[in-house]
Amino acid sequence: MLNNSYEANKSSSYESLTKFQQAELDLYITALIKGSMAYNDDKTFTVSDLVGRKTFGSWKNSPLNYIYQYHKKRECEDPEAESGKDIGRIFKYVMAKDKFHKYRLVDTEQRQFPVNVYELIK
């Protein structure tokens, strides 16, 4: 179970944001999950399916871009990859603190890298 889990930690890129930017990012992530659930009968999702490299271009005009810009300013070797890792951590953090829905980790798929599959239980 992710809710109230100590496994879900914020990342330094998240902590570098203003409170307004954090709230904007939290709301955006929650909306992505809820939108996915509206069209997904089995109520499972992966973070990479919602915001992975295939959709990376669409980050530009979204709150996800705050995380990418953070890593770009740090001059990371691969800011896209670092952003993706952070977004996964941030998704986990947002799901853990959600007071209205419960999520659980149901599987880990092996793709180019391991991908966690989450389920909305309530």
pLDDT at 9: 57
Using the structure block, give the residue that is written with the tokens 């740090």: 74
Binned at pLDDT 50, 70 and 90, residue 56 comes out as low
Kindly state the tokens that stand for 101: 């829905």
Binned at pLDDT 50, 70 and 90, residue 10 comes out as low
What is the pLDDT averaged over residues 76-82?
Answer: 86
Residues 6 or more apart in contact with residue 93 via CB below 8 angstroms: 8, 9, 10, 11, 14
Q: Among 8-12, 87-91, 116-120, whose mean pLDDT is lowest?
A: 8-12
Query: Can you give the residue ranges of every domain in the chain?
Result: 12-120
pLDDT at 37: 86
Rounded to 5°, angle at Cα 26 from 23 and 31:
125
Q: How many residues does the chain have?
A: 122
Q: How far is CA 44 from CA 25, 40, 94, 103, in A?
A: 21, 7, 16, 9
pTM: 0.83
